[in-house]
Amino acid sequence: MPHIDIRNVVKRFDTADGPVHAFGPATIAVERGEFVSLVGPSGCGKSTLLLMIAGLLAPSDGSISVDGRIVAGTRTDVGIMFQDNTLVPWRSVRRNIELQLELRGMDPRGSRARIDTLLETVGLHDFANRAPFELSGGMQQRAAFCQAMVHEPDTVLLDEPLGKLDAMTREKIRADLQRLWLQTRTTVLLVTHSIEEAVQLSSKVCIITPRPGRLDGVIDINLPWPRDITVKRSPEFAAYVSEIGDVFHRYGEI
């Protein structure tokens, strides 16, 4: 049984202009501890799928199960992170991270060491007591990442978390993200537009078709870990990037 079992899932939204077919049908199996990327063009339903996995939206058809149990409401055992962070401006970085515990009825005092370790891992330990506005965009996303991880979630859902950052910051945070995943082996689902990012970080890449998104194919990325700049220069890496790029070329997307 897959850890996350997305089976024949379809999502339609009722709008003033009639129903919008936003996603599916798609069947995707995610094993525990995998790093899975969802790559697909804008509007194909990637964010909608993540929200359904988090239990924040219900599928119109089909089902999503976690360890054999149908997701039927908001899950508190996931960590979620979006392109725009949800840091509250009146709390320090540390207090923002603690907020995720408070919202789940957990006592943040027991997690001080864990928060310190997370801050250390993403290079924010000197900024724990700063307010979000005192941080660069990249640092804010790093803080948001700590928020997504602090309650030791079963699954981390990342919706284009690096989309708005400059190229160099993106590279750095990708390395942090990879290091943290290799340490924890938490199940990660990453939505990204970047084929290179997907190949570098993932154990498996799901290719989603243009709207309404269906699963075109799944590619296992058999490259050694950790995947640093030297792996990215290898012919094997380039071959994966071309293989996925060719699919979107066939769809006329790139």
217 binds ligand ADP (CB under 6 A): no
Nearer to Mg ion, 82 or 127 (CB): 82
22 binds ligand ADP (CB under 6 A): yes
* Dist. CA 119–CA 18, nearest whole Å: 46
Contacting residue, 23, 36, 44, 47, with Mg ion by CB under 5 A: 47
User: Which position among 48, 96, 155, 192 is part of the footprint of ligand ADP (CB under 6 A)?
Assistant: 48
**Contact region with Mg ion (CB under 5 A), list: 40-48, 170-178, 219-227, 231-239:** 40-48
Closest approach, Cβ 13 to Mg ion, in A, equals 14
16 contacts ligand ADP (rule: CB under 6 A): no
Separation of alpha carbons 72 and 53, rounded Å? 10
Of 2 and 41, which has the nearer Cβ to ligand ADP?
41
* Beta pairing, strands 204-208 & 215-220: antiparallel
CB of 162 to ligand ADP, least distance (A): 15
Among 26, 30, 47, 93, binds ligand ADP (CB under 6 A): 47
- For residues 199 and 205, is the Cβ–Cβ distance under 8 A? yes
d(CA 185, CA 21): 34
Q: Cβ-count burial of 171 within 10 angstroms (0-12 exposed, 13-18 middle, 19+ buried)?
A: middle
Question: How does strand 187-192 pair with strand 35-39?
Answer: parallel
**Parallel, antiparallel or unpaired: strands 61-66 and 35-39:** unpaired
Which residues of this protein are in contact with Mg ion, per CB under 5 A?
47
Which residues of this protein are in contact with ligand ADP, per CB under 6 A?
13, 15, 20, 22, 40, 42-48, 211
